[in-house]
Amino acid sequence: MPEKIILYGYSRCNTCRKAEKWLKKNKINFDSIDIIDNPPDKKMILKAIRQYGHKKFLFNTSGLSYRAIGAKKIKQLSEDESIEALLNDPKLIKRPLIINKDKILIGFKEIEWEEVFL
């Protein structure tokens, strides 16, 4: 079983609740952190971008904050501008965001989580 993981989530996010339920069902020890009150730092955001290969994977494209800015404008942001936007409005960050040792998971994809945790 992996060591304790960190789940950055949002209490009103259905996907985050599904992810927490899945972790509990599979008896995986985790710490839940409210992504709005305690967002990941710049180093963690940059690490996630490097791991996923592009900034686009970090954006919560179905959220109100994203829609308020607009997909076209977000796509035009540089990497630094994207990181600043994500840090300034944590609701822009796709959730849940999981930190498991050196691996970061973005969003809840059951098949991917089974490969990592089970």
pLDDT tens-place string over residues 7-18: 999 999 999 999
pTM of the model: 0.90
Domain ranges of the chain: 5-117
* CATH architecture for residues 5-117: 3-Layer(aba) Sandwich (3.40)
First to last CA, the chain: 7
Asked if residue 95 lies in contact with residue 13, where contact means CB atoms within 8 angstroms, the answer is: yes
- HSE-CB at 78 with a 13 A cutoff on CA atoms is 2
Which tokens hold the place of 95?
């959730």
β-pair partners for 50:
none
Q: Residue 1's CB: how many other CB atoms inside 10 A?
A: 9
What mean pLDDT is predicted for residues 76-97? 96
| pLDDT confidence band for 3 (50 / 70 / 90) | low
- If we measure between CA atoms, which residue out of 85, 78, 90, 84 comes closest to residue 54? 78
Whether the predicted pLDDT of 22 surpasses 60: yes
